[in-house]
Amino acid sequence: MVRKLKIGLLGCGTVGRGLVELVGKNDALIRQRSGVELRITKILVRDLDKERHGVDHALLTTQPDKVLNNGCDLVVELVGGIEPARSFIERSLARGKHVVTANKALLALDGFSLMKTAEAKRVRLGFEASVCGGIPIIRALRNGLVGNTIQRLSGILNGTCNYILTRMSEGRIEFEEALREAQAKGFAEADPTLDIDGHDAAQKLKILTELAFSAQVNANAVEVEGIRDIAADDVQAARELGFVIKHVATAELSKDAVSLSCAPVLLPLSHQLAGIRDENNAVLVRGDAVGEMLFSGKGAGSLPSASAVLSDVVDIACHQGGFSMSPGGRVSASSRDSESNHYLRFSVSDPAAIGPITTILERNRVGVARAAAVWARNVSARHQVRVLTHFVSRKTLDTALLDIAGSGIETGKRMILRVAD
Protein backbone atom coordinates (compact mmCIF):
# COMPACT_ATOMS: atom_id res chain seq x y z
CA MET A 1 0.00 0.00 0.00
CA VAL A 2 1.52 3.28 -1.08
CA ARG A 3 0.43 6.55 0.53
CA LYS A 4 0.78 9.74 -1.51
CA LEU A 5 2.04 12.95 -0.01
CA LYS A 6 1.74 16.30 -1.76
CA ILE A 7 4.46 18.77 -0.84
CA GLY A 8 4.28 22.54 -1.28
CA LEU A 9 7.80 23.94 -1.45
CA LEU A 10 8.61 27.52 -0.41
CA GLY A 11 11.99 28.53 -1.81
CA CYS A 12 14.19 26.88 -4.38
CA GLY A 13 17.75 27.85 -3.41
CA THR A 14 20.58 25.48 -2.54
CA VAL A 15 18.60 23.22 -0.20
CA GLY A 16 15.40 23.42 -2.27
CA ARG A 17 17.16 22.26 -5.42
CA GLY A 18 18.85 19.51 -3.37
CA LEU A 19 15.41 18.37 -2.22
CA VAL A 20 14.06 18.26 -5.79
CA GLU A 21 17.14 16.29 -6.87
CA LEU A 22 16.95 13.82 -4.00
CA VAL A 23 13.20 13.18 -4.35
CA GLY A 24 13.81 12.47 -8.05
CA LYS A 25 16.84 10.29 -7.52
CA ASN A 26 15.86 8.18 -4.52
CA ASP A 27 12.12 8.15 -5.22
CA ALA A 28 11.77 4.36 -5.59
CA LEU A 29 13.95 3.71 -2.57
CA ILE A 30 11.91 6.04 -0.35
CA ARG A 31 8.66 4.45 -1.54
CA GLN A 32 9.96 0.98 -0.86
CA ARG A 33 11.39 1.86 2.55
CA SER A 34 8.49 3.87 3.85
CA GLY A 35 5.46 3.16 1.70
CA VAL A 36 5.22 6.85 0.90
CA GLU A 37 5.19 8.42 -2.55
CA LEU A 38 6.35 12.01 -2.46
CA ARG A 39 5.20 14.59 -4.97
CA ILE A 40 6.27 18.23 -5.03
CA THR A 41 3.19 20.00 -6.36
CA LYS A 42 4.17 23.68 -6.31
CA ILE A 43 7.35 25.69 -5.74
CA LEU A 44 7.55 29.33 -4.65
CA VAL A 45 10.42 31.28 -6.23
CA ARG A 46 11.34 34.96 -6.46
CA ASP A 47 12.34 34.89 -10.12
CA LEU A 48 10.60 32.63 -12.65
CA ASP A 49 13.28 33.12 -15.27
CA LYS A 50 16.29 32.00 -13.28
CA GLU A 51 18.00 28.86 -14.60
CA ARG A 52 17.14 25.89 -12.36
CA HIS A 53 18.56 22.67 -13.71
CA GLY A 54 16.35 19.63 -13.07
CA VAL A 55 13.39 21.61 -11.73
CA ASP A 56 10.08 21.37 -13.62
CA HIS A 57 9.29 24.94 -14.72
CA ALA A 58 5.54 24.27 -14.65
CA LEU A 59 5.65 23.90 -10.86
CA LEU A 60 7.12 27.35 -10.25
CA THR A 61 5.14 30.33 -9.00
CA THR A 62 5.97 33.71 -7.51
CA GLN A 63 2.73 33.84 -5.49
CA PRO A 64 2.86 32.33 -1.98
CA ASP A 65 -0.89 31.62 -2.01
CA LYS A 66 -0.49 29.34 -4.99
CA VAL A 67 1.62 27.11 -2.75
CA LEU A 68 -0.21 27.54 0.55
CA ASN A 69 -3.70 27.07 -0.93
CA ASN A 70 -3.03 24.30 -3.42
CA GLY A 71 -4.21 21.40 -1.29
CA CYS A 72 -0.79 20.12 -0.36
CA ASP A 73 -0.46 17.90 2.73
CA LEU A 74 2.75 19.43 3.94
CA VAL A 75 4.66 22.67 3.47
CA VAL A 76 8.45 22.77 3.27
CA GLU A 77 9.75 26.25 4.16
CA LEU A 78 13.19 26.98 2.71
CA VAL A 79 13.03 30.72 2.07
CA GLY A 80 15.01 31.46 5.25
CA GLY A 81 15.15 34.65 7.34
CA ILE A 82 12.47 35.89 9.73
CA GLU A 83 9.83 37.40 7.44
CA PRO A 84 7.97 36.35 5.37
CA ALA A 85 9.07 32.86 6.48
CA ARG A 86 7.34 33.17 9.85
CA SER A 87 4.02 34.23 8.31
CA PHE A 88 4.21 31.38 5.80
CA ILE A 89 4.76 28.85 8.59
CA GLU A 90 2.06 30.33 10.83
CA ARG A 91 -0.48 30.35 8.00
CA SER A 92 0.35 26.74 7.14
CA LEU A 93 0.06 25.55 10.73
CA ALA A 94 -3.19 27.49 11.15
CA ARG A 95 -4.65 25.58 8.19
CA GLY A 96 -3.67 22.27 9.79
CA LYS A 97 -0.77 21.60 7.47
CA HIS A 98 2.41 19.95 8.71
CA VAL A 99 5.51 22.08 8.23
CA VAL A 100 9.13 21.16 7.69
CA THR A 101 11.71 23.93 7.88
CA ALA A 102 15.48 24.43 7.83
CA ASN A 103 15.12 27.95 9.21
CA LYS A 104 17.61 28.10 12.07
CA ALA A 105 17.40 31.87 12.60
CA LEU A 106 13.61 31.79 12.94
CA LEU A 107 13.62 28.75 15.22
CA ALA A 108 16.28 30.27 17.47
CA LEU A 109 14.16 33.42 17.73
CA ASP A 110 10.69 31.94 17.89
CA GLY A 111 10.88 28.14 17.87
CA PHE A 112 9.16 27.80 21.20
CA SER A 113 5.98 29.58 20.14
CA LEU A 114 5.93 27.91 16.72
CA MET A 115 6.12 24.48 18.40
CA LYS A 116 3.28 25.47 20.72
CA THR A 117 1.17 26.53 17.74
CA ALA A 118 1.86 23.23 15.94
CA GLU A 119 0.93 21.29 19.06
CA ALA A 120 -2.28 23.23 19.50
CA LYS A 121 -3.23 22.59 15.86
CA ARG A 122 -2.21 18.93 16.25
CA VAL A 123 0.13 19.09 13.30
CA ARG A 124 3.87 18.56 13.26
CA LEU A 125 6.76 20.93 12.84
CA GLY A 126 9.94 19.26 11.62
CA PHE A 127 13.29 21.03 11.77
CA GLU A 128 15.99 18.39 11.51
CA ALA A 129 17.69 20.43 8.76
CA SER A 130 18.04 23.51 10.97
CA VAL A 131 20.97 22.10 12.95
CA CYS A 132 24.00 20.20 11.63
CA GLY A 133 22.67 19.45 8.15
CA GLY A 134 22.38 15.74 7.50
CA ILE A 135 23.28 14.60 11.04
CA PRO A 136 20.04 13.33 12.61
CA ILE A 137 20.70 15.05 15.93
CA ILE A 138 17.22 16.56 16.39
CA ARG A 139 15.72 13.10 15.90
CA ALA A 140 18.22 11.62 18.35
CA LEU A 141 17.25 14.17 21.01
CA ARG A 142 13.51 14.03 20.30
CA ASN A 143 13.31 10.30 20.07
CA GLY A 144 16.43 8.18 20.27
CA LEU A 145 17.37 9.53 23.69
CA VAL A 146 13.82 10.23 24.88
CA GLY A 147 14.32 8.09 28.01
CA ASN A 148 17.44 9.97 29.11
CA THR A 149 17.97 12.96 31.30
CA ILE A 150 20.47 14.86 29.15
CA GLN A 151 23.32 16.05 31.35
CA ARG A 152 25.53 17.77 28.85
CA LEU A 153 25.65 18.56 25.17
CA SER A 154 28.60 20.04 23.33
CA GLY A 155 29.41 20.36 19.71
CA ILE A 156 31.23 21.78 16.76
CA LEU A 157 28.19 23.38 15.20
CA ASN A 158 29.71 25.71 12.63
CA GLY A 159 31.52 24.25 9.63
CA THR A 160 33.07 27.56 8.58
CA CYS A 161 34.82 28.04 11.93
CA ASN A 162 35.94 24.45 12.00
CA TYR A 163 37.34 24.61 8.48
CA ILE A 164 39.27 27.79 9.28
CA LEU A 165 40.67 26.45 12.57
CA THR A 166 41.64 23.15 10.92
CA ARG A 167 43.51 24.98 8.18
CA MET A 168 45.20 27.32 10.69
CA SER A 169 46.37 24.29 12.65
CA GLU A 170 47.36 21.93 9.85
CA GLY A 171 48.52 24.50 7.31
CA ARG A 172 50.10 26.80 9.94
CA ILE A 173 48.48 29.82 8.29
CA GLU A 174 46.86 32.95 9.71
CA PHE A 175 43.12 33.47 10.14
CA GLU A 176 42.75 35.78 7.12
CA GLU A 177 44.37 33.32 4.74
CA ALA A 178 42.30 30.43 6.09
CA LEU A 179 39.14 32.51 5.71
CA ARG A 180 39.99 33.30 2.08
CA GLU A 181 40.53 29.57 1.46
CA ALA A 182 37.17 28.77 3.07
CA GLN A 183 35.48 31.37 0.88
CA ALA A 184 37.17 30.00 -2.25
CA LYS A 185 35.95 26.50 -1.39
CA GLY A 186 32.41 27.63 -0.65
CA PHE A 187 32.66 26.92 3.10
CA ALA A 188 32.31 30.60 4.01
CA GLU A 189 29.97 33.31 2.76
CA ALA A 190 31.17 36.53 1.14
CA ASP A 191 30.09 38.18 4.41
CA PRO A 192 31.21 35.56 6.95
CA THR A 193 30.22 37.54 10.06
CA LEU A 194 27.40 35.28 11.27
CA ASP A 195 29.65 32.24 11.12
CA ILE A 196 33.03 33.44 12.33
CA ASP A 197 31.65 35.59 15.12
CA GLY A 198 29.81 32.58 16.53
CA HIS A 199 26.20 33.70 16.04
CA ASP A 200 25.29 30.81 13.75
CA ALA A 201 26.60 28.28 16.29
CA ALA A 202 24.76 30.13 19.09
CA GLN A 203 21.45 29.86 17.21
CA LYS A 204 21.96 26.12 16.78
CA LEU A 205 22.94 25.75 20.43
CA LYS A 206 19.73 27.49 21.44
CA ILE A 207 17.62 25.08 19.37
CA LEU A 208 19.44 22.00 20.68
CA THR A 209 19.26 23.23 24.29
CA GLU A 210 15.53 23.85 24.14
CA LEU A 211 15.02 20.29 22.90
CA ALA A 212 17.54 18.48 25.06
CA PHE A 213 16.79 20.15 28.37
CA SER A 214 13.21 21.25 27.81
CA ALA A 215 14.49 24.71 28.63
CA GLN A 216 13.30 27.95 27.13
CA VAL A 217 16.47 29.86 26.38
CA ASN A 218 16.56 33.63 26.40
CA ALA A 219 18.37 34.79 23.27
CA ASN A 220 20.79 36.78 25.44
CA ALA A 221 21.59 33.84 27.72
CA VAL A 222 24.44 32.70 25.53
CA GLU A 223 27.69 34.63 25.63
CA VAL A 224 29.06 34.33 22.15
CA GLU A 225 32.66 34.58 21.08
CA GLY A 226 34.02 34.15 17.57
CA ILE A 227 37.37 33.11 16.15
CA ARG A 228 38.44 36.36 14.45
CA ASP A 229 41.17 37.18 16.97
CA ILE A 230 42.86 33.80 17.09
CA ALA A 231 46.37 33.97 15.69
CA ALA A 232 48.40 31.17 14.10
CA ASP A 233 50.68 31.61 17.13
CA ASP A 234 47.86 30.69 19.50
CA VAL A 235 47.08 27.58 17.50
CA GLN A 236 50.71 26.46 17.59
CA ALA A 237 51.17 27.33 21.25
CA ALA A 238 48.07 25.28 22.05
CA ARG A 239 49.42 22.37 20.03
CA GLU A 240 52.73 22.49 21.91
CA LEU A 241 50.77 22.21 25.14
CA GLY A 242 48.86 19.18 23.78
CA PHE A 243 45.68 20.96 22.73
CA VAL A 244 43.79 21.90 19.61
CA ILE A 245 41.67 25.06 19.35
CA LYS A 246 38.06 24.41 18.31
CA HIS A 247 34.94 26.55 18.31
CA VAL A 248 32.68 24.63 20.69
CA ALA A 249 29.11 25.26 21.83
CA THR A 250 28.24 23.71 25.19
CA ALA A 251 25.11 23.34 27.29
CA GLU A 252 25.42 21.71 30.67
CA LEU A 253 22.82 20.86 33.28
CA SER A 254 23.64 21.56 36.92
CA LYS A 255 20.85 21.25 39.47
CA ASP A 256 17.93 22.90 37.70
CA ALA A 257 19.79 25.28 35.43
CA VAL A 258 21.50 24.89 32.11
CA SER A 259 24.68 26.86 31.56
CA LEU A 260 25.61 27.75 28.01
CA SER A 261 28.77 28.78 26.25
CA CYS A 262 29.70 29.26 22.64
CA ALA A 263 33.35 30.15 22.10
CA PRO A 264 36.71 28.91 20.91
CA VAL A 265 38.26 26.58 23.50
CA LEU A 266 41.33 24.40 23.89
CA LEU A 267 40.57 20.68 23.62
CA PRO A 268 43.04 17.97 24.67
CA LEU A 269 44.12 16.05 21.55
CA SER A 270 42.43 12.94 22.95
CA HIS A 271 39.04 14.70 23.20
CA GLN A 272 36.35 13.22 20.96
CA LEU A 273 35.72 16.58 19.30
CA ALA A 274 39.44 17.24 18.72
CA GLY A 275 39.54 14.94 15.68
CA ILE A 276 36.60 16.59 13.88
CA ARG A 277 38.27 18.21 10.88
CA ASP A 278 37.54 20.63 8.06
CA GLU A 279 33.92 21.67 7.51
CA ASN A 280 32.50 18.76 9.51
CA ASN A 281 30.15 19.15 12.47
CA ALA A 282 29.79 16.97 15.54
CA VAL A 283 27.63 16.79 18.64
CA LEU A 284 28.59 15.01 21.84
CA VAL A 285 25.64 14.18 24.10
CA ARG A 286 25.78 12.78 27.61
CA GLY A 287 22.59 11.09 28.85
CA ASP A 288 22.11 9.47 32.24
CA ALA A 289 21.31 6.13 30.62
CA VAL A 290 23.39 6.04 27.44
CA GLY A 291 26.52 7.79 28.71
CA GLU A 292 28.55 9.77 26.19
CA MET A 293 27.50 9.56 22.55
CA LEU A 294 28.99 11.21 19.45
CA PHE A 295 27.24 12.12 16.19
CA SER A 296 29.36 13.58 13.42
CA GLY A 297 29.18 14.33 9.71
CA LYS A 298 28.62 17.08 7.16
CA GLY A 299 26.83 19.95 8.82
CA ALA A 300 25.69 21.83 5.75
CA GLY A 301 25.38 21.70 2.01
CA SER A 302 22.63 21.15 -0.50
CA LEU A 303 22.18 17.37 -0.32
CA PRO A 304 22.97 16.81 3.40
CA SER A 305 20.39 19.45 4.35
CA ALA A 306 17.90 18.11 1.80
CA SER A 307 18.40 14.66 3.32
CA ALA A 308 17.40 16.06 6.71
CA VAL A 309 14.32 17.77 5.22
CA LEU A 310 13.34 14.48 3.58
CA SER A 311 13.69 12.54 6.84
CA ASP A 312 11.20 14.91 8.48
CA VAL A 313 8.84 14.72 5.51
CA VAL A 314 8.81 10.91 5.48
CA ASP A 315 8.51 10.72 9.26
CA ILE A 316 5.45 12.97 9.17
CA ALA A 317 3.96 11.03 6.26
CA CYS A 318 4.42 7.73 8.10
CA HIS A 319 3.17 8.90 11.45
CA GLN A 320 0.37 11.35 10.87
CA GLY A 321 -0.98 11.70 14.34
CA GLY A 322 -0.58 15.27 15.52
CA PHE A 323 2.46 14.74 17.65
CA SER A 324 4.83 17.51 18.47
CA MET A 325 7.34 17.73 21.25
CA SER A 326 7.86 21.17 22.62
CA PRO A 327 9.94 22.57 25.42
CA GLY A 328 8.14 22.81 28.72
CA GLY A 329 10.21 25.57 30.28
CA ARG A 330 11.33 23.01 32.84
CA VAL A 331 14.72 24.50 33.62
CA SER A 332 16.32 27.88 33.25
CA ALA A 333 19.29 28.50 31.05
CA SER A 334 22.16 30.88 31.52
CA SER A 335 25.67 31.61 30.47
CA ARG A 336 28.24 29.17 31.71
CA ASP A 337 30.63 30.06 34.53
CA SER A 338 32.16 26.89 35.88
CA GLU A 339 35.88 26.77 36.73
CA SER A 340 38.31 25.85 33.95
CA ASN A 341 41.92 26.08 32.97
CA HIS A 342 42.44 29.11 30.73
CA TYR A 343 44.94 30.02 28.04
CA LEU A 344 45.93 33.70 28.09
CA ARG A 345 48.01 35.61 25.56
CA PHE A 346 49.21 39.15 26.40
CA SER A 347 50.88 41.58 24.01
CA VAL A 348 53.75 43.38 25.78
CA SER A 349 56.57 45.80 24.96
CA ASP A 350 59.05 43.69 26.89
CA PRO A 351 58.84 39.91 27.41
CA ALA A 352 60.16 40.49 30.93
CA ALA A 353 56.54 41.40 31.67
CA ILE A 354 56.14 37.70 32.43
CA GLY A 355 57.20 38.64 35.97
CA PRO A 356 54.59 41.29 36.81
CA ILE A 357 51.85 39.45 34.86
CA THR A 358 52.24 36.16 36.73
CA THR A 359 52.63 38.05 39.99
CA ILE A 360 49.34 39.90 39.48
CA LEU A 361 47.58 36.68 38.46
CA GLU A 362 48.78 34.81 41.52
CA ARG A 363 47.93 37.74 43.80
CA ASN A 364 44.37 37.54 42.42
CA ARG A 365 44.19 33.79 43.11
CA VAL A 366 44.64 32.82 39.49
CA GLY A 367 47.11 29.91 39.65
CA VAL A 368 49.71 29.88 36.86
CA ALA A 369 50.34 26.35 35.52
CA ARG A 370 52.76 27.39 32.79
CA ALA A 371 53.99 30.69 31.45
CA ALA A 372 56.18 31.63 28.51
CA ALA A 373 57.86 34.89 27.48
CA VAL A 374 57.93 34.98 23.70
CA TRP A 375 60.10 37.38 21.70
CA ALA A 376 58.56 38.78 18.50
CA ARG A 377 59.97 37.12 15.39
CA ASN A 378 60.06 40.38 13.43
CA VAL A 379 59.64 44.09 13.96
CA SER A 380 55.99 44.18 12.90
CA ALA A 381 55.01 41.55 15.49
CA ARG A 382 54.51 42.06 19.21
CA HIS A 383 56.30 40.42 22.10
CA GLN A 384 54.03 38.13 24.02
CA VAL A 385 53.50 36.54 27.39
CA ARG A 386 51.48 33.31 27.28
CA VAL A 387 49.94 31.72 30.35
CA LEU A 388 48.09 28.49 31.05
CA THR A 389 46.19 28.88 34.33
CA HIS A 390 45.03 26.35 36.87
CA PHE A 391 41.27 25.93 37.45
CA VAL A 392 39.66 29.33 37.94
CA SER A 393 36.24 30.87 37.35
CA ARG A 394 35.92 33.46 34.64
CA LYS A 395 34.82 35.97 37.27
CA THR A 396 38.02 35.59 39.32
CA LEU A 397 40.06 35.68 36.14
CA ASP A 398 38.38 38.88 34.98
CA THR A 399 39.25 40.61 38.26
CA ALA A 400 42.91 39.69 37.77
CA LEU A 401 42.83 40.83 34.14
CA LEU A 402 41.41 44.19 35.19
CA ASP A 403 44.40 44.56 37.52
CA ILE A 404 46.80 43.71 34.69
CA ALA A 405 45.07 46.18 32.38
CA GLY A 406 45.43 48.82 35.08
CA SER A 407 49.17 48.21 35.36
CA GLY A 408 49.78 49.46 31.81
CA ILE A 409 51.92 46.48 30.87
CA GLU A 410 49.88 45.48 27.84
CA THR A 411 50.47 46.98 24.38
CA GLY A 412 47.65 45.28 22.48
CA LYS A 413 44.58 43.12 22.60
CA ARG A 414 44.74 40.04 24.79
CA MET A 415 43.36 36.58 24.02
CA ILE A 416 41.49 34.40 26.52
CA LEU A 417 40.48 30.84 25.75
CA ARG A 418 38.90 28.35 28.08
CA VAL A 419 40.33 24.83 28.16
CA ALA A 420 37.43 22.41 27.77
CA ASP A 421 37.02 19.64 30.38
Positions touching its own copies (CB under 8 A) are 18, 22-23, 25-26, 29-30, 32-35, 128, 133-136, 139-140, 142-149, 214, 272, 275, 282, 287-298, 303-304, 306-308, 310-311, 314-315, 318-321, 323, 325, 328, 330
**Nearest distance, CB of residue 254 and its own copies, angstroms:** 17
Looking at beta carbons only, is 250 or 307 nearer to its own copies? 307
Looking at beta carbons only, is 34 or 332 nearer to its own copies? 34
Rounded to 10 degrees, the C-alpha dihedral 51/52/56/61 comes to -80
- Yes or no: say if 281 and 271 are a contact pair by the CB < 8 Å rule: no
Catalytic residue among 42, 204, 206, 298: 204
- Yes or no: say if 307 and 381 are a contact pair by the CB < 8 Å rule: no
Looking at beta carbons only, is 86 or 139 nearer to its own copies? 139
Looking at beta carbons only, is 227 or 273 nearer to its own copies? 273
Cis ω on the peptide bond leading into residue 351 (within 30° of 0)? no
Question: Using CB atoms within 10 A of its CB, is residue 256 exposed (0-12), middle (13-18) or buried (19+)?
Answer: exposed
Active site residue 121: no
**Nearest distance, CB of residue 272 and its own copies, angstroms:** 8
Looking at beta carbons only, is 271 or 345 nearer to its own copies? 271
Q: How many CA atoms lie within 13 A of 351 on its CB side?
A: 12
**Nearest distance, CB of residue 36 and its own copies, angstroms:** 9
Helix, strand or coil, per DSSP, at residue 357: helix
- Yes or no: say if 127 and 107 are a contact pair by the CB < 8 Å rule: yes
- Yes or no: say if 207 and 111 are a contact pair by the CB < 8 Å rule: yes
Q: Identify the CA nearest to 273 among candidates 247, 300, 304.
A: 247
β-strands 415-419, 341-348 pairing: antiparallel
Supply the residues annotated as catalytic: 204
